[in-house]
């Protein structure tokens, strides 16, 4: 008999990548039905995050991980395997345009996400579901040239960034963000067969403007006017909330979405529909 603990070894495991606002919102939601492993690079904040989740009665372990480092990702996979059967992956970690330079955004948003996808597939089995949080930016920008797409489709290749820089003229954080999200959506479509072979699913979820700490920072940065212009076109006339993104993540990774894979769900208040000419 044990007391004073919220450990639930009988539950399947959910791996949440990202300890920011949207990541922690997803973690609290998934923690109602899973044991959690939350991975975040900001090690100094992780003890507080773990304490907060456990105070809510959630069986949670919060660890530091640089998702762009293959060795760190491999170590994270061991932590997950030691916790039990991987049922759910919610990959939320990303840099916004104000969060880094061209190369940093591509490394985190695309190289890191790809490393996570490849490694978690090794732990996937029947019923496992993965959702990669993307962005409506991946839909709103003009599709890249075929030569650029070919490079984006293989971000783990040697000299990936150098090859991409030779093909793309604009090396700005905003362009890196758009390209990384476009490529992330493609990855989830292209990898669906590999996941399906293991009885597992993979999808992307593309939020529009969401009221998060990162989103608030964008309103103070160089992309402020772009974001305000987008909000001005939104049929809903407001930002989304982290509760609404958690709703989408919970649904997409649940058994209620058991026939949904290899696709993207826009959670953008109709922004893409109002902006693009179909």
Per-residue pLDDT tens for 160-172?
999 999 999 999 9
Please determine, for residue 278, whether its predicted confidence score (pLDDT) is greater than 60.
no
Whole-model pTM: value is 0.92
Residue, of 217 and 242, whose pLDDT is higher:
242
Please determine, for residue 155, whether its predicted confidence score (pLDDT) is greater than 80.
yes
Q: For position 211, what pLDDT does the model report? A: 85
DSSP letters, 89-142, are EEE-----GGGS-HHHHHIIIIIIHHHHHHHHHTT--TT-EEEEE--THHHHSP
Q: The domain 13-269 belongs to what CATH superfamily?
A: NAD(P)-binding Rossmann-like Domain (3.40.50.720)
The domains of the chain are located at: 13-269
Q: Which residues contact 56 (CB under 8 A, 6 or more apart)?
A: 28, 31
Helix (H, G, I), strand (E, B) or coil at 77: helix
Please determine, for residue 221, whether its predicted confidence score (pLDDT) is greater than 80.
no
Q: Which residues contact 2 (CB under 8 A, 6 or more apart)?
A: none
Which tokens in the block code for residue 201? Answer: 């699913």
pLDDT of 66-124, one tens digit each? 999 999 999 999 999 999 999 999 999 999 998 899 999 999 999 999 999 999 999 99
Mean pLDDT of 123-143: 95
Of 44, 62, 54, 60, the C-alpha closest to 11 is 60
Please determine, for residue 272, whether its predicted confidence score (pLDDT) is greater than 80.
yes
pLDDT of 254-269, one tens digit each? 999 999 999 999 999 9
Helix (H, G, I), strand (E, B) or coil at 193: helix
Q: For position 5, what pLDDT does the model report? A: 79
Sign (positive or negative) of CA dihedral 214, 220, 223, 227: positive
Q: For position 217, what pLDDT does the model report? A: 63
pLDDT of 10-19, one tens digit each? 999 999 999 9
3-state DSSP helix/strand/coil % of the chain, to nearest 5:
50, 15, 35
Mean model confidence pLDDT for the chain: 93
Percentage of the chain beyond pLDDT 90 is 80
């Amino acid at each position: 008999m044990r007391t004073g603990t919220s450990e639930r070894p009988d539950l399947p495991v959910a791996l949440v990548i990202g300890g920011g606002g949207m990541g922690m919102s997803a973690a609290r939601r998934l923690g109602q039905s899973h044991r959690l492993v939350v991975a975040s690079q900001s090690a100094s904040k992780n003890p507080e995050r773990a304490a907060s989740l456990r105070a809510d009665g959630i069986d949670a372990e919060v660890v530091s991980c640089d998702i762009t480092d293959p060795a760190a990702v491999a170590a994270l996979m061991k932590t997950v395997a030691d916790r039990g059967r991987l049922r759910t992956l919610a990959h939320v970690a990303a840099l916004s345009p104000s969060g880094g330079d061209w190369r940093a955004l591509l490394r985190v948003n695309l190289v890191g996400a790809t490393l996570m996808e490849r490694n978690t597939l090794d732990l996937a089995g029947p019923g496992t579901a993965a959702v990669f949080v993307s962005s409506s930016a991946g839909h709103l920008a003009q599709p890249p040239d075929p030569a650029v797409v070919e490079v984006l489709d293989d971000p783990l290749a040697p000299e990936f960034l150098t090859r991409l820089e030779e093909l793309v003229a604009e090396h700005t954080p905003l362009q890196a963000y758009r390209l990384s999200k476009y490529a992330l959506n493609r990855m989830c479509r292209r990898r669906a067969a590999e996941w399906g072979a293991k009885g597992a699913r993979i999808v992307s979820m593309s939020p529009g403007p969401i009221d998060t700490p990162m989103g608030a920072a964008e309103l103070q940065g160089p992309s402020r006017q772009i974001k305000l212009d987008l909000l001005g076109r939104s049929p809903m006339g407001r930002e989304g909330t982290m509760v609404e993104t958690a709703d989408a993540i919970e649904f997409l990774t649940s058994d209620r979405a058991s026939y949904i894979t290899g696709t993207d769900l826009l959670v953008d208040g109709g922004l893409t529909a109002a902006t693009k000419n179909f």
